[in-house]
Amino acid sequence: MEKVVWPEAGKRMLAGKVFRQTDELLEIRLQTRREVKSFNDTDSADLKSREQIIRHLFGSIGKDFYIDSPFHCDYGVNIKAGDNLKVNMGCTFLDSNVINIGNDVLIAPNVGLYTAGHIVDPELRKKPSALQYALPINIGNNVWIGAQSIVLPGVTVGDNTIIGAGSVVTRDLPANVVAVGNPCHVLRKVNGRDKREFLGRPFSAAMDD
């Protein structure tokens, strides 16, 4: 996307400070909605056009990516992804703050990456205060996020980590672990046993063909 001139509320938003929605922020999001609609309406076989839209929409993205439809995001420009990103259908990235995604990341269907949050106190959450906040999400290299998982504001996921389907990630996850649940917790470490067990299964023989 072309460089965004952020209003004061947008600057507060990206700085992780409380902010209120404004007409200026709404206009930026509406522009993004138009681009997202164009992407979702483009034939899945028209890979060139879809790539062009995503490259214009995102802040940055590497080579050899694939994003399935439907896909949704708030601003687009705050999404920064590496090489070989694969995003399955039905994913939503609420990028009120930066979403950093490393190389070789797999994101399964209906995953939500949500940088945006609301205030717990009911008086501050409703109008006229209507205070919100947004914190960055950082996804490391070679991460696999299972279907219908949610990653909440401020979370960092370490390299090579797997998040089981249906998880709600409320806190940071270290590298090289399998994590599951709501709230998501570390189940075990990834180790050499995983490769040995995979290679010992009948379907792995197809890798030699």
Give the list of residues 6+ apart from residue 58 with CB closer than 8 angstroms, or none.
1, 76, 77, 79, 80, 81
Q: In what order do the strands lie in the sheet with 168-169?
A: 71-73, 91-94, 112-114, 150-151, 168-169
Helix (H) or strand (E) holding 28: helix 23-41
The number of beta carbons lying within 10 Å of the beta carbon of residue 10 is 20
Of the residues 56, 72, 118, 185, only one is catalytic, namely 118
The reply to whether 56 belongs to the active site is no
Cα 54 to chain centroid, rounded: 14
Distance in angstroms (rounded) separating the CA atoms of residues 42 and 30: 19
Token pair of 7 as six digits:
């209003």
Based on DSSP, count helices (H) and strands (E) in the chain, helices before strands: 5, 18
- Going by C-beta distance under 8 Å and a sequence separation of 6 or more, which residues neighbour residue 113? 91, 92, 93, 94, 95, 99, 137, 139, 151
Q: Are 129 and 110 in contact (CB under 8 A)?
A: no
Residues carrying an active site annotation: 118
